Amino acid sequence: MPRTEKQIKDGLTLVDAINEALAQEMERDSRVVCLGEDVGLNGGVFRVTEGLQKRFGPDRVIDSPLSESGIMGTSIGLAMAGMRPVPEIQFEGFMGPAYDQLVNHAARFRNRTRGSLTVPLTVRVPWGGGIHAPEFHSDSPEAIYIHNPGMKVVCASTPTDAKGLLLSAIRDPDPVIFFEPKRVYRSYREQVPEEEYTIPLGKAKVLAEGTDVTMITWGANVFQCLEAIDQLPEDLSVELIDLRTLNPLDWDTVCASAEKTGRVVIVQEAAKTCSLASEIMATIMERCFLNLKAPVQRVCGFDTIMPYAKLELDYLPSPKIIVEATEQVAAY
């Protein structure tokens, strides 16, 4: 689909970039099908699949029955039988019914069959808070899927990364969960290469180089961290890492930075306990112990359930708290 004037002038949103990636991959590979609740005629509740059914037909862009277990389980079958399904779960809060199929089946077939049956599917999931959505529409469950082996987990924060990472995900021979930060969906635009390209899974991106403190994050919090950096004293040199792929994680980039600065702040929306932040801390502890100058800090969601909209911004890590934690780490 040709880009609109606005897209040409102001760039693509995350939604636009994912849509373009899906269209290009469906064009390139006839095995790719999209399925999920309302993804067809309606273009998905976030319009990420807008126009795809019209272009590729209802056999390739499929409005499924309202059943997450059904969507995930049949996607496994489709994948094992030679298709490249890209199912959508409408909100991360509804991954519950799909959990068993995803964790106990999609993630295990390769291992269970000694490599004879594989599940190359990419499940797209709108993820995280910040848009004042109803209950069960704002969670950050990535740690659950990182903890369980067998799935790759991606979380793109920018349109350019989203396009390249999604194309890698769809072409990956293993199941990939592709988390899409809702808060960024339409809040940020940038120029994105029009032709198809891939960004390898498992590679973090250093967004800003620095020498005093390392800030590690992913998803919508990349933007919270950028805001925090703006507010921090200019002579504090912060290195900002966007992980982009959460599993497998780019430990070399993380540890090289931790060793360089000796001071680390990890920022995530998810609740603190047993989270990805916990794992990053543990690994830095194991690998960079002698280089640390301060205890690694986690700015996280509280160990509570994501509150309804009125308290949402009190729950999510704010630039203010990120600044405070960074200053404390820097001064320690």
Ligand X SMILES: Cc1ncc(C[n+]2csc(CCOP(=O)(O)OP(=O)(O)O)c2C)c(N)n1
Burial 35-47 (b: 16+ CB within 10 A, else e): bbbbbbeebbbbe
Q: Write the binding mask 64 to 93 for other proteins: x where contact by CB under 8 A, - elsewhere.
A: -xxxxxx----------------------x
Beta bridge mates, 126 = 180
Please state, in angstroms and as integers, the Cα–Cα distance from residue 275 to each residue in 235, 238, 270, 299, 302, following that order: 31, 23, 7, 11, 11
The packing angle between helices 319-331 and 221-231, to 10°, is 60
* 303 binds other proteins, rule: CB under 8 A: yes
State the nearest-atom distance from the C-beta of 94 to ligand X, in Å.
4
Residue type, 84: R
Q: Does 37 bind ligand X (CB under 6 A)?
A: yes
Query: Using the rule CB under 6 A, is 90 a contact of ligand X?
Result: yes
> Beta strand pairing status for 213-217 and 238-242?
parallel
In 3D space, the residue among 219, 75, 76 whose CA is nearest the CA of residue 154 turns out to be 219
Partnered with residue 180 across adjacent β-strands are 126
94 binds ligand X (CB under 6 A): yes
Of 55 and 293, which CB lies nearer to other proteins in the complex structure? 293
Q: Which distant-in-sequence residues (6+ apart) come within 8 Å of 307 by Cβ?
A: 314, 315
Residue positions annotated with a catalytic role = 137
Looking at beta carbons only, is 72 or 271 nearer to ligand X?
Answer: 72
Nearer to other proteins, 58 or 200 (CB): 58
Q: Considering the rule CB under 6 A, would residue 138 count as an interface residue with ligand X?
A: no
Nearer to other proteins, 74 or 158 (CB): 74
Min dist. Cβ of residue 38 to ligand X (A) = 7
Identified binder of other proteins from the candidate list 5, 59, 234, 314, rule CB under 8 A? 314
User: Which residues make up the interface to other proteins (CB under 8 A)?
Assistant: 37-38, 40-43, 45, 63, 65-70, 93-94, 96-97, 132-137, 265, 272, 293-295, 297-305, 307-312, 314-315, 321, 324-325, 328-329, 331-332
